[in-house]
Every structure is written in structure tokens, then in C-alpha cells.
């Protein structure tokens, strides 16, 4: 039954094989006339069907390559090569099957994302005193704030906040192959696979707004567009047809044998033009998806492969987008570890953005947070905490100086901020924080310059001093600062040479991403307006995926164009040989199928495209989490 399944899927192939077997049986039985008429009726029906399809295409304004197949079948029948005409029928129908197989193979990563979309969620509701009730609901009915249960080896249905620690397989979304540990209070994205223990989470987004559904929507868009190189292949149809007919006519004229015309046209294979480019581009989209890069169609691949200018937003793109501790300046009588521990212990009761950076720095150094007997936070000024026998104050210069008069301001570089600390009314020191450049940013800029991206600029709304400091650290020499969103759009439009790409992450980047030749959104922190406006969405919190996207695109375009020209060269070469009479019509029909197969297999090389070769800076933190 498994062997018959492909024949049921492709009935024309099954019919062609059946007729070919019948014709061969009639020939073996000494009934050549019956064999000829059987083949003629079958091929005639296929010719009529092909002619109808060709006319429909012409009415839509498309000149296809079906005319070559039509003329080849009629010509082979006219010169008595009915076996060759049957093989052409089998070849054309088989070509569609080959295209279908190649497309399914190339779409594997894309369709895997679509097929795994969560459908249901386990909703936890109140079942009475000291009881809970769990019921399954469609994922579309989950509301923000709902309490959900995710069982082992199940997909997380919507974005939510974990209520307990867990481990997740994020490979289908980010490409990370090993499990990633997440702690209570941390957000987990929809579409990732839960580990070996059931976890609970509080929904923070509806299904339609969650990351996985946004990815699914992007994938659907990616599969529908046609790349310019594919449309270019369509334009090759008319000249290729004219050349094939001219070569066939010349062979007939020089030899005086009509069979030469048929032998040449049998080898005029349209497959490299019809199939190679689409298969290669689908393969490139699939390869990118596997790396955590969603591209919205083949046209994006071609633009990205030819990029010559680039612009970057600063905050959250070239930088991490959050303050990090860069220096500990302890006052006399305090050491750095003591100062950081006291500050982090007080800041654990603060919701200020700088407090996160201080706590993370203490955790990275293995410093335990000390419990406070009482704590009080004054918005925008600081926090006061009673830790053991000490009263610790962490906050602005004026707040700390009011309690410790010897407090002095520290010198800061552009883009830095200071948090001051006092203990028992003594100045303990200052912590210097900054939104530091990503560790991979400088390598990304250097890679783009090596790869013939001749102009690289920073477009940011931040102050010029801060922007220039970050630009110098990552290797960008053209800085445009203090920009409004409309000014970013105008500057991006002026970038030369083109095509130009723009990389950003925030809602304020959406207009410039939409207006650029290629907009790339850093979408690891969730689906935003930037992701909706961009042509490429990077699902991993790593700028190194930008070179990966460019490298995959260039490999894909190179494979597509090479497949087209290899197929055309083989077809023309075989047609020239057939003009001498060295290739019989039957052998030519079989040879054409081999050319088709070779072209498709070469186009599938797009699936093996490599990235930019830069190390993934997120790998080390994830490895540490797993330990």
C-alpha cells in the first residue's frame, strides 16, 4: 500500500506508467499498430490538456514553457517516435512530482513551525475550598492573567510568567539545541517545549499576540512571495523557447530529416527555469528558520544577499538594552565585594531599572543577598534598608549626600550612570552602570565591512555623546544622534549604495524598518511593532544572527542562479549534440529527466547554507544555566 501512495497522489504519472506498460506489452506481442494507436491516444489527450493550461497562462499574460513540451510531443508523434512521446508525458508529470518533493524537503523547517502550533491549553480554575479544577480549552480562549498548567513534553500555549523553575527545549523557535533553564518569575515564550516536570504559568498575552503565533504568521507570509530571481526565470521562457525551436529547425534544415527536429526539442528541458529557483529560495527560508531567523519571502533573500549599506539603532540593538555594572568604586574602609553585596541586598526591594543591573552583578560574582528587617523605597530617589545592624541607603547623589555629607560625585563617561551607597551615614562608594555594547557588536560590524558592506551608520534618538561612545567601541564612524522617528526614516532613505539594511528592536524603530530596503528586527524579547514592520525577524537575542542572515541569503542566491545556468547549459549542450543525430529521441527524453533531477538536487544545496561564522554570545550564559 505504501508503494501505491505516490501513484494515488500523482494520477497522471500512474496513467502514463500504465499506458507505457501496455504499449510495451503490445510491442512484445507483435502488435505494433495497436501500440502506436494506444500511445497516440494517450499523448493526444495529454497534448490537449497541456494546450488548455498554456492558453490559460497566456490569457493571464504569462508565456510559459509548456509550448516546448507541446511541440516536442506533437513532433515525436509525427515522426513515429511514440515511445519517446510517452516518455515526455511521463517526464513532465514526473517533473511536477519532483518539484513537489523538492519543495516539501525545502519547506521542512517552515512547515514544522506551522504544524507544531499549540491548539489547546490546560486552564486551572477554582474548584471549591482547597480544590482546583483543570480543564482543556482552545488556546484562543486563554485570557491575560489566566493560570495554566503545562505538562511534561507539552508546548507552552501562550506567553506567560513562570510560577516555578522549569527547563525548556527552545530549539524549534531559537535553534538552541540543548535545554534552557528558566526560573520562577521569568517569562517563557509560547511554542517552546516543556521538559520533564509540569510547570504553572500566568498568561501575559493572548494566543494571537504570543510569540509563536506571530512566528506562524511570518512563516505564512514567507512562503507566499516570489523572489525577483524567480520572476527573472519566467522572463527567460520566451528566449529559451525561441532558441530551442531555432536549433531544432536548423537541425531539420541541415539534415533534411524531420526526426532531428523532434530529437532536439525532446532535450529542451524547462525544469531549471521553472523549478530550480523556487526550490532554492524555499530551502534558504527553511535554513534561516532553523537558525532562528524568519525572513518574509524570497524577495528579502535576494535583497539581503546584495546589501551594500547598513544602519543600526543603538539601544537594544548594538547594546544590550539594559544597564550593567561596569565599575565598583569603593570608599575608604569598604572593599568592592562588601559594597556590591550591601547595595544589591538593599536593591532587591526596588523595582528601578538600575536595581536589576546591580542584583545581576552580585549574582554573577556569587554574592548572597542579605535579608532586610525593613526596607523603604522612595520613587526615583533610592531605597533605604535595615540590614542586620546597618542602615543602608542606595540612590541618587543628593539622596545619599543628605545622610553622608562626605559623599562626592564620581566622574562618568558618556552613557554611564552612578548609584551612590551609604552605610550607617558613612559614604561607602558608588556603582557605575551603563548600557554596554553587546560583546558581538564589534565583530558584526567588522564582518559586514569584510563582506563589501561599504557604508555603516548608527541612527539613534539618544544623546550624541552617548551614541559616539558606543559607536567608537563597536567600530562605527558615522553617527546620527538625537533623531526623531521621522528623521530616521529620511536618513535611511538617503543611504547609498543600495540595497541598505536597517537593524532595530523598539516600537520607535517600526517606521524606519518598514521604509528600509531590508528591515531587521531583534525580536527575542517578544513580538512587537518592529517585528511586524520588518522584513527579517531574529528570534535569538544575538546580533550575530545578522551576518548569519546575510550569509544564508548570499548562499541561497548563488545556488539558485547556479542551478538555473547549469540546467540551461546542460540542455543547450545536449541539444547541440542531438543536432548531429547522436542522441535518439527516447534517449533524449530520459536524458532530459536526468538534467531535471540534477538541477533540483543542486537547488536543494540551499538547505546547507552556513552562517556568518561568528560565535553565539548567548551560548555561554545558556550553558551556565544548564549547569
pLDDT tens, residue by residue, 98-129: 666 666 665 565 556 555 677 889 999 865 55
**In this model, does residue 153 exceed pLDDT 60?**
yes
Work out the angle between the directed axes of helices 66-78 and 258-266 (0-180°, nearest 10): 140
* Residue 356 among the catalytic residues: no
For 51-152, list the strands marked E by DSSP. 120-126, 132-138, 147-150
pLDDT at residue 587, as a whole number: 87
Q: Half-sphere exposure of residue 470, counting CA atoms within 13 Å on the CB side?
A: 32
User: How far apart (Å, rounded) are the C-alpha atoms in residues 490 and 515?
Assistant: 9
Residue 158, C-beta contacts closer than 8 angstroms, at least 6 positions apart: 118, 121, 139, 142, 148, 190, 203, 204, 205, 206, 207, 210
Whether 388 and 292 have beta carbons less than 8 Å apart is answered as no
Most distant CA atoms of the chain, gap in Å? 115
User: How far apart (Å, rounded) are the C-alpha atoms in residues 335 and 10?
Assistant: 77
Q: How many helices (H) and strands (E) does the chain have?
A: 25, 22
Once rounded to an integer, what is the mean pLDDT over residues 344-370?
87
User: Which stretch of DSSP H or E encloses residue 552?
Assistant: helix 545-578
Q: Which of 70-79, 336-345, 602-611 has the highest mean pLDDT?
A: 336-345
Once rounded to an integer, what is the mean pLDDT over residues 337-355?
87
User: How far apart (Å, rounded) are the C-alpha atoms in residues 4 and 14?
Assistant: 9
pLDDT-derived band of residue 173, with 50, 70 and 90 as boundaries?
A: low
**In this model, does residue 188 exceed pLDDT 80?**
yes
Q: Is the C-alpha dihedral spanning 552, 553, 559, 560 positive or negative? A: positive
Does residue 451 or residue 112 have the better pLDDT? 451
DSSP line for 130-192: T-EEEEEEEGGG--TT-EEEE-TT-B--S-EEESS-EEEE-HHHH---S-EEE-TT-EE-TTP
| Share in percent of the chain as helix, strand, coil (round to 5) | 50, 15, 30
Whether 294 and 539 have beta carbons less than 8 Å apart is answered as yes
**In this model, does residue 606 exceed pLDDT 70?**
yes
Does residue 73 or residue 219 have the better pLDDT? 73
Does residue 215 or residue 207 have the better pLDDT? 207
Once rounded to an integer, what is the mean pLDDT over residues 443-457?
94
Burial class for 135, CB neighbours closer than 10 Å (0-12, 13-18, 19+)? exposed
pLDDT at residue 427, as a whole number: 95
pLDDT at residue 518, as a whole number: 92
pLDDT at residue 448, as a whole number: 95
User: Which stretch of DSSP H or E encloses residue 503?
Assistant: strand 500-504
Indicate the SS3 state at residue 528. coil
pLDDT at residue 294, as a whole number: 84
Domains of the chain: 5-107+231-280+556-608 (no CATH), 117-218 (2.70.150.10), 293-320+438-539 (3.40.50.1000), 324-434 (3.40.1110.10)
User: How far apart (Å, rounded) are the C-alpha atoms in residues 512 and 494?
Assistant: 12
| Per-residue pLDDT tens digits for 17-69 | 788 888 888 888 888 888 888 888 888 888 888 778 777 767 766 555 567 77
User: How far apart (Å, rounded) are the C-alpha atoms in residues 208 and 297?
Assistant: 21
pLDDT at residue 129, as a whole number: 53
| Per-residue pLDDT tens digits for 276-294 | 778 888 888 888 888 888 8
Burial class for 327, CB neighbours closer than 10 Å (0-12, 13-18, 19+)? middle
Does residue 108 or residue 445 have the better pLDDT? 445
- N- to C-terminal Cα distance for the chain? 49
User: How far apart (Å, rounded) are the C-alpha atoms in residues 5 and 23?
Assistant: 24
Does residue 340 or residue 68 have the better pLDDT? 340
| Per-residue pLDDT tens digits for 527-554 | 455 566 788 888 888 899 999 999 999 9
Whether 387 and 371 have beta carbons less than 8 Å apart is answered as yes
pTM: 0.74
Whether 212 and 206 have beta carbons less than 8 Å apart is answered as no
* 203-212, 322-331, 538-547, 603-612: range with lowest mean pLDDT: 603-612
User: Which residue among 66, 146, 159, 313 is the active-site one?
Assistant: 313
User: How far apart (Å, rounded) are the C-alpha atoms in residues 578 and 165?
Assistant: 70
User: Which stretch of DSSP H or E encloses residue 199?
Assistant: strand 199-203
Whether 407 and 429 have beta carbons less than 8 Å apart is answered as no
**Letter string b/e over residues 7-43, b meaning 16 or more CB atoms within 10 A of that residue's CB:** eeebebbebbbebbeebeebeeeeeeeebbebbeebb
Amino acid at each position: 500500500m505504501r508503494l501505491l501512495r505516490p501513484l494515488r497522489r500523482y494520477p497522471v504519472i500512474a496513467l502514463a506508467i500504465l499506458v507505457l506498460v501496455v504499449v510495451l506489452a503490445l510491442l512484445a506481442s507483435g502488435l505494433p499498430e495497436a501500440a502506436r494507436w494506444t500511445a497516440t491516444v494517450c499523448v493526444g489527450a495529454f497534448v490537449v490538456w497541456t494546450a488548455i493550461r498554456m492558453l490559460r497562462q497566456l490569457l493571464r499574460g504569462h508565456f510559459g514553457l509548456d509550448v516546448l513540451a507541446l511541440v516536442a510531443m506533437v513532433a515525436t508523434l509525427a515522426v513515429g517516435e511514440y515511445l519517446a512521446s510517452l516518455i515526455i508525458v511521463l517526464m513532465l508529470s514526473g517533473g511536477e512530482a519532483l518539484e513537489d518533493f523538492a519543495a516539501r524537503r525545502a519547506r521542512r523547517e517552515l512547515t514544522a513551525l506551522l504544524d507544531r502550533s499549540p491548539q489547546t491549553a490546560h486552564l486551572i480554575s477554582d474548584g471549591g475550598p482547597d480544590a482546583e479544577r483543570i480543564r482543556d480549552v482552545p488556546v484562543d480562549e486563554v485570557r491575560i492573567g489566566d493560570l495554566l498548567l503545562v505538562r511534561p513534553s507539552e508546548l507552552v500555549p501562550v506567553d506567560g510568567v513562570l510560577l516555578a523553575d522549569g527547563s525548556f527545549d527552545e530549539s524549534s523557535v531559537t535553534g538552541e539545541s540543548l535545554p534552557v533553564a528558566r526560573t520562577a518569575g521569568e517569562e517563557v515564550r509560547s511554542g517552546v517545549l516543556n521538559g520533564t516536570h509540569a510547570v504553572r504559568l500566568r498568561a501575559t498575552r493572548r494566543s494571537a499576540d504570543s510569540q509563536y503565533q506571530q512566528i506562524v504568521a511570518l512563516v505564512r507570509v514567507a512562503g507566499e512571495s516570489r523572489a525577483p530571481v524567480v520572476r527573472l526565470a519566467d522572463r527567460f521562457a520566451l528566449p529559451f523557447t525561441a532558441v530551442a525551436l531555432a536549433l531544432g529547425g536548423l537541425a531539420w534544415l541541415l539534415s533534411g530529416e524531420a526526426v532531428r527536429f523532434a530529437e532536439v526539442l525532446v532535450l529542451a528541458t524547462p525544469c531549471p527555469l521553472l523549478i530550480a529557483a523556487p526550490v532554492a529560495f524555499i530551502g534558504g527560508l527553511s535554513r534561516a528558520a532553523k537558525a532562528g531567523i524568519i525572513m518574509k519571502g524570497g524577495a528579502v533573500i535576494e535583497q539581503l544577499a546584495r546589501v551594500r549599506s547598513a544602519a543600526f539603532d543603538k539601544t537594544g540593538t548594538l547594546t544590550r538594552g539594559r544597564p550593567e555594572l561596569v565599575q565598583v568604586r569603593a570608599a575608604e574602609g569598604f572593599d568592592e565585594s562588601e559594597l556590591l553585596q550591601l547595595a544589591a541586598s538593599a536593591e532587591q526591594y526596588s523595582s528601578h531599572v538600575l536595581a536589576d543591573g546591580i542584583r545581576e552583578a552580585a549574582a554573577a560574582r556569587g554574592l548572597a543577598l542579605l535579608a532586610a528587617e525593613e526596607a523603604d523605597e522612595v520613587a526615583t530617589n533610592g531605597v533605604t534598608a535595615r540590614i542586620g545592624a546597618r542602615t543602608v541607603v542606595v540612590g541618587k547623589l543628593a539622596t545619599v549626600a543628605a545622610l553622608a555629607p562626605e559623599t562626592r560625585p564620581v566622574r562618568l563617561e558618556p552613557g554611564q550612570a552612578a548609584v551612590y551607597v551609604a552605610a550607617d551615614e558613612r559614604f561607602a562608594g558608588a556603582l557605575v552602570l551603563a548600557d554596554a555594547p553587546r560583546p558581538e557588536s564589534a565583530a558584526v560590524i567588522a564582518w559586514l565591512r569584510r563582506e563589501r558592506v561599504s557604508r555603516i551608520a548608527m541612527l539613534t534618538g539618544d544623546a550624541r555623546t552617548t551614541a559616539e561612545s558606543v559607536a567608537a567601541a563597536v567600530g562605527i564612524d558615522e553617527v546620527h544622534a538625537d533623531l526623531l522617528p521621522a528623521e530616521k526614516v529620511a536618513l535611511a532613505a538617503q543611504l547609498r549604495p543600495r540595497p541598505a539594511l536597517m537593524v532595530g528592536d523598539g516600537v520607535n524603530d517600526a517606521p524606519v524598518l518598514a521604509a528600509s530596503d531590508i528591515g531587521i528586527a531583534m525580536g527575542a524579547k517578544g513580538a512587537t511593532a518592529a517585528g511586524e514592520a520588518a522584513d527579517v525577524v531574529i528570534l535569538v537575542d544575538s546580533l550575530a544572527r545578522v551576518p548569519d542572515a546575510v550569509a544564508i541569503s548570499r548562499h541561497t542566491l548563488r545556488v539558485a542562479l547556479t542551478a538555473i545556468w547549469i540546467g540551461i547549459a546542460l540542455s543547450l549542450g545536449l541539444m547541440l549534440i542531438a543536432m548531429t543525430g547522436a542522441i535518439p529521441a527516447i534517449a533524449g527524453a530520459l536524458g532530459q529527466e536526468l538534467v531535471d533531477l540534477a538541477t533540483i538536487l543542486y537547488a536543494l544545496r540551499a538547505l546547507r547554507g552556513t552562517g556568518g561564522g561568528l560565535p553565539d554570545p548567548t551560548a555561554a550564559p545558556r550553558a551556565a544555566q544548564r549547569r
